[in-house]
Chains A and B, each alone.
Chain A
Amino acid sequence: MPITGVYFIPAHPNASTALGNITERLRSSFPDEDLIQLGRWTLEQKLMRDTPGLLPTSSGPNQRPSKPRYMQFLSLSHYYNHGFIYTSEPAEKPFHPPNAASPSPAATPATPRPQGAGAGAGAGAGAATAGSVNDSTTSNISPMLMTTVPHSSYSTLFQHFTYACQPFWCHRLTVVVQNGVFYDIGDFRVRLGDVRQTYPTNRVRGTVVEIEWRGPSVIDSLDGAVTSDVNEETDSGVDVSLSALEESDIDAEFAATALLIREFWGRLGVEGAREAILVPGVGSEVKERLVKLKGARNGLSGPTEDDPDPQAGADVARQYLEVLRFNR
């Protein structure tokens, strides 16, 4: 899973976007690089909000405004095997079943837990879900939970929520990047595209830029150890024995790469961008992987028939969804 950063430059409706400007800056900032368009990419985000939150807030003094809850559907052409669903965690736990994570003391000894389930809540959480860490940066939004679903389920689930869950989910908007382009510049891959809103009305939203670090990274060696088909392209020059790798090393790797990405973005000198690199929950799949690798548990979210890595791209999906969560 490569380390990425996503920038979004908002634009006024009916105004031109920053796309041309950024492409020009890329050309002028990296005169030694051939700016060759390598291909196209697309993105689609459908944003749903909790329906009760759409009611106008009453002015009553004893009613504090509830936190908005979101469910965001994201589909990326560079991770075409699966779609991403990013949902606010429930504010209060469902009322009738008690929280599974905190069984009552009386129930604990009677429940035989499978061995190793206590090793890490994240590891036990199973295939493609990973609890997001508590966020201090976005205080008015509750923590988000990332779920990846097979691509065939992506639109079926969206239809299900619009059909059967109207009292609690309401489709608010859809934005797309239809004609994104990408370039390789040094150790980076840069994806650019104009974000258009297609629902409820057509309008321009701005420009999104994804910067992917393709240089040597500790994370790659981890990926190589997990997936049997080692990606030739990203042959990692870093030789790290897995046993020496700690979660803090991964955090450090993300932080260090974030600096590289910020430096790259800084060279372009584009103003007024929203940044998403070290967003809440980023890297949690990588850490989960490390825990499982070290434990050599067979509970790895292994490849399914049609998806070699069901969790791939969860980090970049989080970053896109952070910058594209428009208020409506």
Chain B
Amino acid sequence: MHELLLFASVPTHQHAELLQQLAGLTAMQPRHCFERRLIFKAYRKPGVANARVGASQDLQSGDLQRVNKMLNGGMFYTQVVGPIQSADFADAGVTDAAANASANANPNPVNPDPDTDTKMDGMDSESSIPRSAYDFDQQSWQLEFRDIPEAGTRSAVTSRVMATAALPRGDIVPSMNAWGYSFVTEYLVEGDMFIHNDIVLNLHRVLHYPTNPGEENQPRRQMPTLQQMAPLEKSGSYVLQASMMVQDGSNQETMKTASQHLFGLREQLKSAVRLEMADRLSLDTRVK
């Protein structure tokens, strides 16, 4: 599958106005969404490639060439994306004690221990993160692979190979590790989504988690409060992304039609924002 894209930068002061304009254009209310985005990096034992080149007799040379070519093939960062609700964030108004009290209100047969309360109280002093009803084991995920945008296209849109696949719920790290990917870090995307004919419009910004020691090496099992999340772009500006998926990227005709639809949208939004293609290297997903 291919993805065609145009981007625009939207300063904070224009955000509310653009939301209304897009709602008018698309005749729909914005769909507010949050996405957890986990970044995984393809890994390979260093030094394996080229270590034993030329020492072969038993493998047919054609086969060996193919294997060597594969060993030197590209490796990529890929993302695992999970939608969450605003209710999944720890509520700033709920203190640890209150959250624990509500948790204890549910009879919990795992721990029929009458000392639970005192144990929990002991934990309060250590944890600074309020709780929420967020259940990591039920978190749904999908793998989102995006190739580096194609080079040398004459068209003025960003075009890249993409793949999206649903994954099992819960802790996805063991599977990803076995498949050859290691967890790097995670961030959150907050934004509003619109659909305009065959184009998906996303007005979003990237939020960083508050750093807590010991949490960087694995996906968080709990969410902080939304207030604790800090925008990556300090000015708080947003990115408008217009995207379109094409099933068969080798079909020049459909690719052309898709680009033209995006250009049509660009014209319609010309007075509000300037949609343009992205710098190819800024969207480079290759592992170097």
Contacts and interface: CB of A to CB of B under 8 A. Distances in A.
Given A126-B169, A126-B171, A149-B166, A114 B136 contact: yes
B88 to A, nearest CB: 13
A100 B173 contact: yes
Rank and list the top 10 A-B pairs by shortest CB-CB distance, nearest first: A126-B170, A107-B214, A94-B182, A166-B73, A127-B169, A128-B168, A153-B165, A126-B171, A127-B170, A56-B56
5 contacts: A110-B126, A150-B166, A165-B75, A166-B73, A169-B180
Nearest to B63: A54
B163 A159 contact: yes
Interface string B23-61: 000000000000000000111111011011101111100
Interface residues of A, number: 74
A176 to B, nearest CB: 22
Contacts of A96: 41, 182, 184
A295 B180 contact: no
Contacts of B110: 115-116, 119, 295-297
B166 A167 contact: no
B15 to A, nearest CB: 34
A111 interface: yes
Contacts of B71: 51-52, 55, 166-167
Interface in B206-236: 212-215, 217-218, 221-222
B277 interface: no
B114 interface: no
Given A131-B174, A157-B143, A299-B138, 12 more contacts: A55-B68, A100-B183, A110-B126, A114-B221, A117-B221, A127-B170, A129-B168, A147-B178, A166-B71, A168-B44, A299-B135, A301-B168
Interface of B is mostly: loop
A52 B45 contact: yes
A296 B183 CA distance: 30
Contacts of B168: 126-129, 147-149, 301, 310
Interface of B: 41-46, 48-49, 51-53, 55-59, 64, 67-68, 70-76, 78, 103, 108-111, 123, 126-127, 129, 135-138, 140, 142-143, 145, 147, 161, 163-175, 177-180, 182-184, 212-215, 217-218, 221-222
Interface of A: 51-52, 54-59, 71, 85, 87-90, 92-98, 100, 103-104, 106-117, 119, 124-129, 131, 145, 147-150, 152-153, 156-157, 159-161, 163-170, 294-299, 301-302, 304, 310
A302 B175 CA distance: 19
B67 A167 contact: no
B170 A51 contact: no
